[in-house]
Amino acid sequence: MTRRIATFDEFRDAVTAYRLPRVLLAALELDLCTAIGKRWWTVPGLAKHIKVSERGLGILCRNLAAAGVLHKNGSRFKNSRLGATALNANHPAYRGGYLNLIERHWADWLRLPESVRSGLPIDHDIPDSPDDRRQFTWAMHHRTLELAPAIAAQISLARSKTLLDLGGGPGTYAMAFLAKIPSFTPPSVIERPRSRCPRKSPACIRRDDDSPISHSIFQKNLSRARMM
């Protein structure tokens, strides 16, 4: 819930809270943590490497260090654990899908007055492209990498023999349950013609003859099919 604002000081603090997010987003837009990688950098060396102003980069790096995203030692900077992993495109734990979504959301929120004037979503006349859907699905996967195992740990499926991931999505929750209970039969998967998923989902619907079918979960006539 949004905190209530009753005084001008509270109003000012709320409005100026954009500064740290803007610092973090600037680092994302410059792909700074990827450029830094695993080593220590001086500001002149890093500025030359990513082709930006030394003065501007120095200010940005000091703010990122104050926020804990970078470590500072004298005049040198390196990634924190977060910066070296989730924010670094060269690391397996990179959350690129979700980071891209955050950047797009910032751009969308800047256009809020436009949406208020029209009463319409800012992209109401622009259909989603396959790449948009793919990036969104990856974002949802990256967003729930820690959440899904935590939820799976709270639900007992000791007596269960099958798992249905209805709707599929990126399959993050299904993968968390499969990791928790290895005794589940390896999942059947099907390709979906207009899937939002960057890979196959563990969800599957089978006909009576055991051949998989592609089907919308919002349609009827599944009486001859059984869920796996």
| One domain, residues 14 and 70 | yes
Domain assignment present for 114:
no
Distance (Å, whole) CA 188 – CA 207: 13
Distance (Å, whole) CA 9 – CA 107: 27
Domain assignment present for 31:
yes
pLDDT for the residue 189: 52
Domain assignment present for 127:
no
Domain assignment present for 121:
no
198, 134 Cβ separation under 8 angstroms? yes
| One domain, residues 136 and 228 | yes
Q: What is the CATH number of the domain that holds 61?
A: 1.10.10.10
60, 84, 108 - which closes a domain: 84
108, 122 Cβ separation under 8 angstroms? yes
Beta bridge partners of 41: 77
Number of domains in the chain: 2
pLDDT for the residue 205: 38
Distance (Å, whole) CA 35 – CA 48: 11
Domain assignment present for 199:
yes
Distance (Å, whole) CA 46 – CA 64: 14
pLDDT for the residue 145: 78
pTM above threshold 0.75 = no
Beta bridge partners of 213: 205
173, 151 Cβ separation under 8 angstroms? yes
Chain-centroid distance of CA 59 in Å reads: 27
Domain assignment present for 206:
yes
pLDDT for the residue 153: 85
- CA dihedral sign of residues 17, 20, 24, 26: positive
Rounded (10°) CA dihedral 131, 135, 136, 141: 140
pLDDT tens, per residue, the chain with 228 residues: 577 999 999 999 999 999 999 999 999 999 999 999 999 999 999 999 999 999 999 999 999 999 999 999 999 999 999 999 999 999 998 988 888 888 888 888 899 999 999 998 887 677 777 777 777 777 777 777 788 888 888 888 777 777 777 766 777 888 888 788 776 665 555 554 444 444 444 444 343 444 444 555 445 554 444 443
What range defines the domain where residue 26 resides? 8-84
Domain assignment present for 62:
yes
DSSP states of 44-99: HHHHHHHT--HHHHHHHHHHHHHHTSEEEETTEEEE-HHHHTTT-TTSTT--HHHH
| One domain, residues 80 and 136 | no
| One domain, residues 223 and 139 | yes
207, 213 Cβ separation under 8 angstroms? yes
Domain assignment present for 61:
yes
84, 107, 141 - which closes a domain: 84
